[in-house]
Amino acid sequence: MSATQLYFYAGLLLAALVLSAMFSGIETGIYTLNRIRLAIEVGRARKAAMKLLEEIRFPNRLLATLLIGNACAHDLGSIAIAHILDGMGFTPLVGIALNICLLLPLIFIFGETLPKELFRVHTDRWSYGCVGFLKVFRILFTVIGLVPLITWLGSLIVRRVGLGANVTLDARQRFQELFRESSTTIGERQVVMADRVMQLSDLTLNDVMTPWKDADILREQFQTDEVRAFLKNSNHSTYPFVDQNNRCVGVVSAMDILVTPDKAPHELVRKAIELDKGTRVSEALRLLREGGGTLIVVRDGQTEAGVSSLRDMLESVVGSFRAC
């Protein structure tokens, strides 16, 4: 084998390794690419993102392109090593053994493992930069008929086996991911708030209420001085009212007590909004809005379990209020 031929096949081997690395890396990059971030980049009219989205829209075609590219790269590498070994005077049997010993580690390390790991870490940068490479080979393999053939065979097998359901993010997951990926335009507090809003549908009054034993309760037996001291030491606008028999008979507004000092608290009692502790916070907020109240008496069957104010429920979304 002449020096020119040796250089040619060495270059062919190097090209095969590069192609294998590119196809393997892009495959992992596509799998790990954040689809929400891609949608954001498309919304910003980034050309690379729009081209990448066009490729991802046809997953069977994309996968066929990557598989064909990898297979071609492996074949080129095998041919190159075989000619190099043959030119060095090795017998066919020894050449096959050396081919296996040399090609497999090279492909496995530099054509598979290393590029896959690099693309996994840098997918949100590298995948966009490689979309041109992907498109060129997709067009090439389509023109020669390989992509349509592999895609058709894959679809046929999928239909026969009964698979093919696509996994998609529901609206809630997309909203959460959108906020996480929009970190350049919104702050961390807004991201946390968005997560809390998404979790609101899972929260119940049991999660946000103040237990009955810890609640500030206005009692019928309180004297005038005791009522004033009670209001002074508390910072709520509405209180549950308990009668002489220790039964919660309603709620009393602190404002009503202060503006009508001539009336006893039991004369100012209003009907309480009473809900089971398993009621969802979103439903409780709706009932508070419709009823014009600010406090809910939370029950566990016939027993008072706690109280939940409008502030308690809002804090489950915006976090703790701090006094200025």
pLDDT at residue 275 greater than cutoff 80: yes
Does residue 139 carry a pLDDT above 90? yes
Average pLDDT score, the chain: 81
Question: What confidence tens digit (pLDDT) does each residue in 53-107 have?
Answer: 888 888 888 889 999 998 998 888 888 888 887 777 777 777 677 767 776 777 7
* Domain at 204-318, CATH homologous superfamily: CBS-domain (3.10.580.10)
Q: List, by residue range, all CATH 3.10.580.10 domains of the chain.
A: 204-318
pLDDT band at 179 (very low <50, low <70, confident <90, very high): low
Phi/psi for 273 (5° steps) reads -85, 110
Q: Up-side HSE of residue 317: CA atoms within 13 Å toward CB?
A: 12
Q: What angle do CA 246, 248, 249 make, to 5 degrees?
A: 120
Residue 107 DSSP one-character state = I
Q: Which pLDDT does position 324 carry in this prediction?
A: 38
Give the β-pairing of 273-276 and 248-253.
unpaired
β-bridge partners, 308: 296
Report yes or no: 135 and 52 within 8 Å, Cβ to Cβ: no
> What does the pLDDT average to over 161-173?
55
Comparing CA positions, the residue from 153, 121, 147, 150 lying closest to residue 134 is: 147
pTM (2 d.p.): 0.48
